[in-house]
Chain A
């Protein structure tokens, strides 16, 4: 199990995202390009084909947490439609963390899938 030093807040239980995976999803989304908050939320929704809907409160809390942990960086930039928005981008530590979490996640999913198959 990979841990980095922050607590998973209780609020996340109420989101539609599988508990504990929101951070990984954010990191993954940011691994492609720097993005602002709504963009990330939109991207997660689209790529998961609407399976995951992210609560904005949890999302913004997660940003702060990840930023504090040094996994992402933030800066205010102009958007395409020339408005100011806070853009997040992955740091080197964040990239490493994403790799670790991805590997961990894959391992679990495989194990669960195997179990389910054995049951069936």
Chain B
């Protein structure tokens, strides 16, 4: 009651300030009248009585102010006054305001952009899910705690049925789908999910409904599908009559029952998700797969913790269940026996194994952007300080009129906070634009990023602005509000002389050092990029286009798929401008790898036999005839994979030189045999070493198997030709659809673009640190220029005297430039030390470019010194050119 009453009165007083004031004046007037009357009654003359009453009450205005100041609303009111005043002051000096806001916007914009990306990738709970903090991802782990293993449906069912720690355990895996609407096929990134998937996530349908419990109990009985908001808009024009509509999915009729809200993007948010179908429909969508199969383990699991159950106790229960599952012997594969542990991590929207690398990378970028904010804030502090000096008289007058120091500081701080808030608004705008630009990065088709700022990012930007505003606005404010009035009023010259320039110098040196650090980092990343681009991958990607073709997702059986791939090869080979056509499981150098262990018959190069041992770990790929020709990979001995290597002929393989050297001392491993995946294989050829998945790999033992001997329904077509990229893409799409008009148009990219993914971290890092470093350099240059100009102005008289006494122009020039270069040298020195200490953090991304790379360090230092020279030469020339008489007369 009391609080409410005080609040209500305060608000009323604020809103009806005039009425409240009048009431107060009336009361004071009445008081004086009564007092006068009392004095008259006591025998005083009326005029005298009135005077006495007035004397008693003192200054009526002071009384009114006293009463006014007693309520809480007066604090609010003075804040508004301060803000209004600050707004007026800032409007009065638009150049200062715009420059400062711009600098702050750049600084906060840099941090906010990176934070926005970090937030989108790592920090925010799974978008679209209810109470996402209770969601955990369940990963089955090797006893060594490192390698993980995804789940088979029976294992998932075991956990779902036997665990007690969760309000539901769900499973999903991605499955490419072809959705055929009115005869035209569309590629859709699908998820096969357990029936409780949406319930566990707590996602509610935008329209329609999600899966009912009975729709995920029996195989193949409920062909229903839920689609994403984006797919609904793109393929159905956001038509709500889509609910209940029947479409073909991988050649089978499915009914659309619901649309997912826009906010929900699936469980791994960087992967596109267009559609969801019950896992029980999988055998239809992926022929040959059975949910009862424990060897087939494509599923990922997540669960919602029961309220009050800790993640650790849930983990223990899951580990016990996993160990019991292994002990029960349900799984025949010997290698699975070691996966007896479980790990539970918050369901963050990223695969658990990718998180650490991404965290490190983002923290590197966040650190770099924080440096830019620091440089910007230092600039702003310098600007505010300069202004504080210029406003010394104003402050002195206000202090003389009775403003206390605290009040002045508060006013000045309000001004800088307003500046920072306005700047942060610009920063948020920059972040919106910059994240949009980042999303334009060349990424594989199945990946889509949403890095746009959300309310967390906006809050972050405002808090950053507030904190930096206080930290960097306080010192100038304190300095400006120094209250030795008489000195300030008397002292007309822009005072603060020596001390302020020392502080200014230190700030400039710091800025130079920090921006040098950033540009050294950018330079190192550029060097790494350049080195990465120069690394010979061992194949020739120029002129090669690739497209993934998933015959399974078209509802093709093996016979039909076989016929399709054969027909496509024939059509493409008949196309003018196409030189070579081949198929492969995985396009080279696209950050994907698979492999296994080979058991060699007979002794290896070191003379030891291992036919019964653990085998040699090798990486592998499945390729079709023409693969080596299409990629210009030389065959050093024997034969490449050929058309005759089909399912009826002897099982063969081509190995690389590294593996050949391991098998035979002279490298001639032709004709040797080994066992791989329980099959006897003969080595038919030896190919030159290449890079297979990543640029960093070195001398990897590698095996190529004929794709015709290991049937895969999903293949990547490789086409080398002389056509321009876009025409090649068109030719491939046309060839695919000329065989079956219902097929979705394939996503064709050049192999070069596909390969660029392996340099993505370097590219992003070089781009970001380069942009940040450039911003930092510009600010530092402006800072240096400002300091030198200021010092030249201050020393105008001194320079005038020197010139009058016979100093030549070059002497003056030299003197001023030396001053600038001294600062620059100090800054560069400090920056080099900082960089030497900091760049080792990036070593993992540098492809053996030394973190202390001489070219980068020396080059950036020279660049800085050159820029510093120019920015001190300009004011120096002005000083040298000035007429000594004018200089001496001023002041």
Residues of A within 8 A of B (CB): 4-5, 9, 11, 36-39, 41-42, 55-58, 60-61, 64-65, 67-70, 81, 83-86, 93
Is A60 a contact partner of B34 (Cβ separation < 8 A)? no
Chosen A-B contacts, 20 in total, with CB atoms closer than 8 Å, are: A4-B2, A37-B27, A42-B34, A56-B28, A56-B56, A56-B57, A57-B58, A57-B66, A60-B63, A60-B66, A61-B66, A61-B67, A64-B67, A64-B70, A69-B5, A70-B2, A81-B37, A84-B30, A85-B34, A86-B30
Task: List B contacts of A86 (CB < 8 A).
Answer: 23, 26-27, 30
Interface residue B438 (Cβ < 8 Å from any Cβ of A):
no
Interface residue B478 (Cβ < 8 Å from any Cβ of A):
no
Q: How far is the CB of A26 from chain B (nearest CB, A)?
A: 14
Q: How far is the CB of A76 from chain B (nearest CB, A)?
A: 8
Interface residues of chain A: helix, strand, loop or mixed (majority) = helix
Is B2 a contact partner of A84 (Cβ separation < 8 A)? no
Task: List A contacts of B28 (CB < 8 A).
Answer: 56, 60
Residue with the greatest number of chain A CB neighbours at <10 A, chosen from B1, B57, B62 = B57
Chain A residue at smallest Cβ distance from B8: A68
Q: A56-B63, A57-B66, A64-B70 are in contact. Are A37 and B2 (CB under 8 A)?
A: no
Chain B residue at smallest Cβ distance from A68: B6
Q: Which of A11, A61, A83 sits near B33, CB closer than 8 Å?
A: A83
Task: Report B837-862 CB contacts with A as 1/0, cut-off 8 Å.
Answer: 00000000000000000000000000
Task: List B contacts of A61 (CB < 8 A).
Answer: 66-67, 70
User: Which of chain B's residues 720-768 have a Cβ closer than 8 Å to chain A?
Assistant: none
Is A38 a contact partner of B6 (Cβ separation < 8 A)? no
Is A11 a contact partner of B38 (Cβ separation < 8 A)? no
C-alpha spacing A60/B61, complex, angstroms = 13
User: Which of chain B's residues 134-158 have a Cβ closer than 8 Å to chain A?
Assistant: none
Q: How far is the CB of A58 from chain B (nearest CB, A)?
A: 8
Task: List B contacts of A42 (CB < 8 A).
Answer: 34, 38
Task: List B contacts of A38 (CB < 8 A).
Answer: 30-31, 34-35, 38
Chain A residue at smallest Cβ distance from B6: A68
User: Which of chain B's residues 196-241 have a Cβ closer than 8 Å to chain A?
Assistant: none
Task: List B contacts of A93 (CB < 8 A).
Answer: 2
Q: How far is the CB of B33 from chain A (nearest CB, A)?
A: 7
Chain B residue at smallest Cβ distance from A85: B30
C-alpha spacing A36/B30, complex, angstroms = 9
Instruction: Give the interface size bracket for B toward A.
Output: 20 to 34
Interface residue B71 (Cβ < 8 Å from any Cβ of A):
yes
C-alpha spacing A75/B34, complex, angstroms = 17
Q: How far is the CB of A16 from chain B (nearest CB, A)?
A: 12
Interface residue B291 (Cβ < 8 Å from any Cβ of A):
no
Task: List A contacts of B27 (CB < 8 A).
Answer: 37, 60, 85-86
Contacts A60-B27, A68-B10, A69-B2 aside, 20 further interface pairs with beta carbons under 8 A come to A38-B30, A38-B31, A38-B34, A38-B38, A56-B31, A56-B58, A57-B62, A60-B24, A60-B31, A60-B63, A61-B66, A64-B67, A64-B70, A65-B70, A67-B9, A68-B6, A70-B5, A81-B37, A83-B30, A83-B33
Q: How far is the CB of A21 from chain B (nearest CB, A)?
A: 18
User: Which of chain B's residues 23-57 have a Cβ closer than 8 Å to chain A?
Assistant: 23-24, 26-28, 30-31, 33-35, 37-38, 56-57
Task: List B contacts of A9 (CB < 8 A).
Answer: 70
Task: List A contacts of B37 (CB < 8 A).
Answer: 81
Task: List B contacts of A65 (CB < 8 A).
Answer: 70
C-alpha spacing A19/B466, complex, angstroms = 40
Residues of B within 8 A of A (CB): 1-3, 5-6, 9-10, 23-24, 26-28, 30-31, 33-35, 37-38, 56-58, 62-63, 66-67, 70-71
C-alpha spacing A5/B3, complex, angstroms = 9
Q: How far is the CB of B109 from chain A (nearest CB, A)?
A: 43
Q: A56-B57, A57-B58, A61-B67 are in contact. Are A84 and B34 (CB under 8 A)?
A: no
Is A60 a contact partner of B30 (Cβ separation < 8 A)? no
Task: List B contacts of A64 (CB < 8 A).
Answer: 67, 70-71
Task: List A contacts of B6 (CB < 8 A).
Answer: 68-69
Q: How far is the CB of A89 from chain B (nearest CB, A)?
A: 15
Task: List A contacts of B58 (CB < 8 A).
Answer: 55-57
C-alpha spacing A100/B703, complex, angstroms = 93
Q: Which of B9, B31, B33 sits near A68, CB closer than 8 Å?
A: B9
Q: A61-B70, A70-B5, A86-B27 are in contact. Are A36 and B34 (CB under 8 A)?
A: yes
Chain A residue at smallest Cβ distance from B1: A70
Chain B residue at smallest Cβ distance from A54: B56
Q: How far is the CB of A100 from chain B (nearest CB, A)?
A: 15
Is A5 a contact partner of B2 (Cβ separation < 8 A)? yes
Task: List A contacts of B33 (CB < 8 A).
Answer: 83
C-alpha spacing A38/B28, complex, angstroms = 9
Q: How far is the CB of B810 from chain A (nearest CB, A)?
A: 66
Chain A residue at smallest Cβ distance from B36: A38
C-alpha spacing A115/B58, complex, angstroms = 39
C-alpha spacing A5/B56, complex, angstroms = 30
Task: List B contacts of A56 (CB < 8 A).
Answer: 28, 31, 56-58, 63
Q: Which of A5, A37, A69, A84 sits near B31, CB closer than 8 Å?
A: A37
C-alpha spacing A56/B2, complex, angstroms = 25
Q: How far is the CB of B40 from chain A (nearest CB, A)?
A: 12
C-alpha spacing A38/B56, complex, angstroms = 12
Q: How far is the CB of B13 from chain A (nearest CB, A)?
A: 9
Task: List A contacts of B9 (CB < 8 A).
Answer: 67-68
Residue with the greatest number of chain B CB neighbours at <10 A, chosen from A9, A11, A64, A85 = A64
Task: List A contacts of B31 (CB < 8 A).
Answer: 37-38, 41, 56, 60
Chain A residue at smallest Cβ distance from B34: A38
C-alpha spacing A41/B32, complex, angstroms = 12
C-alpha spacing A58/B3, complex, angstroms = 22
Is B63 a contact partner of A57 (Cβ separation < 8 A)? yes
Q: How far is the CB of B249 from chain A (nearest CB, A)?
A: 67
Q: Which of A4, A57, A67, A84 sits near B26, CB closer than 8 Å?
A: A84
C-alpha spacing A85/B2, complex, angstroms = 25
C-alpha spacing A42/B38, complex, angstroms = 9
C-alpha spacing A81/B1, complex, angstroms = 36
Chain A residue at smallest Cβ distance from B10: A68
Is B34 a contact partner of A57 (Cβ separation < 8 A)? no
Q: How far is the CB of B10 from chain A (nearest CB, A)?
A: 8
Q: How far is the CB of A79 from chain B (nearest CB, A)?
A: 8
Chain B residue at smallest Cβ distance from A9: B70
Q: How far is the CB of B23 from chain A (nearest CB, A)?
A: 7
Is B67 a contact partner of A60 (Cβ separation < 8 A)? yes
C-alpha spacing A68/B56, complex, angstroms = 26
Q: How far is the CB of A83 from chain B (nearest CB, A)?
A: 7
Task: List B contacts of A57 (CB < 8 A).
Answer: 57-58, 62-63, 66-67
